[in-house]
Structure 1
């Protein structure tokens, strides 16, 4: 009787542990599309040159196991400067950099084509939203000691 109860208890504990752990493991394995880095203070003086504008950027990383279409997604700051993604697919495990100035879009670099800075040097919040408006991620910073924020 004692060994039967011990086996039954072990079976229930194993089943319960599997039920509790599986969703956590599955969630960790699925990954996310998220804000990765904000380089909010471009190197040198803020001259509004294209090189200086492109020194300010946001990186978005895809840690899922499949490519994700960003078409219609929006990147916005606290002052409501919006960048809407055109047709762009972010490959699994890939990062894309969204630069403030002008340039030719590639798989790894997209350009907002702005003539003025977006990200404040002292504090701001970046928010990434899907095309339906649902929030995917946000990242805030409040510092002048470094030029970037890892999200």
Structure 2
């Protein structure tokens, strides 16, 4: 008799345990797969568009590395709808860090790189930024219409 009454209890306990394991499995089975992506885009520099370097430097795109390891950006490209293209030189962005690409002229240092352009890239009335791998594959994109001058993509 005991065996017959214990068997359903053991089966119920095993089913409950298996059910709890199954419900917790997706969280551990699908770890965060971070990586490079577009972040904040200041497509309309604050103030009047004067084409001064100060104004051009205030137009920028952030590329964030949400991955667990550093990424070498050499050969990655940042491109707009018109076809203006910035190609990264040898530059490494650490895990969890951001690099800011300024339109204007300057010296690459720290987390800031410069396109060294004398005119604006990003259209205030609407545009699309694309982050492209060295292989030519699209990694991320972000678009906007006429707005506040700032777009937060991710």
* TM-score (structure 1 length as normaliser): 0.90
Q: Aligned pair count?
A: 147
Say whether residues 1:8 and 2:24 are aligned partners: no
* Root-mean-square deviation (Å): 1.4
Deviations 1:74-122 (A, max 9, x none): 1111111110101000012211110111100012111111111100001
Residues 112, 132 of structure 1: alpha-carbon distance in 2 compared, 3 angstrom cutoff: same
- In 2, Cα distance between equivalents of 1:22 and 1:133: 33
Q: Show the 5 A alignment for 1:92-131.
A: 92-131=95-134
Q: Provide the C-alpha distance between the structure 1 equivalents of 2:29 and 2:79, rounded to a whole number of angstroms.
A: 32
Partner Cα separation in structure 2 for residue 149 and residue 119 of structure 1: 11
- Structure 2 gap segments, 5+ residues each: 1-6
Higher Cα radius of gyration: 2
**Number of the residue aligned with 1:21:** 27
SS in 1 for 2:44: coil
Partner of residue 3, structure 2: none
Structure 1 gaps of 5+ residues are none
Measured in 2, the distance between the counterparts of 1:135 and 1:19 equals 32
1:17 Cα deviation after fit: 2.7
Q: 2:94 aligns with which of 88, 91, 96?
A: 91
How much does 1:18 deviate? 4.0
Q: TM (normalized to structure 2)?
A: 0.88
Alpha-carbon deviation of 1:22? 2.1
Match of 1:147 among 117, 142, 149: 149
- Distance in 1 of aligned mates of 2:130 and 2:28: 30
Q: Following the alignment from structure 1 to structure 2, what is the Cα–Cα distance between the partners of residues 74 and 109?
A: 15
Q: Secondary structure at the match of 1:98?
A: strand
- Provide the C-alpha distance between the structure 2 equivalents of 1:70 and 1:101, rounded to a whole number of angstroms: 20
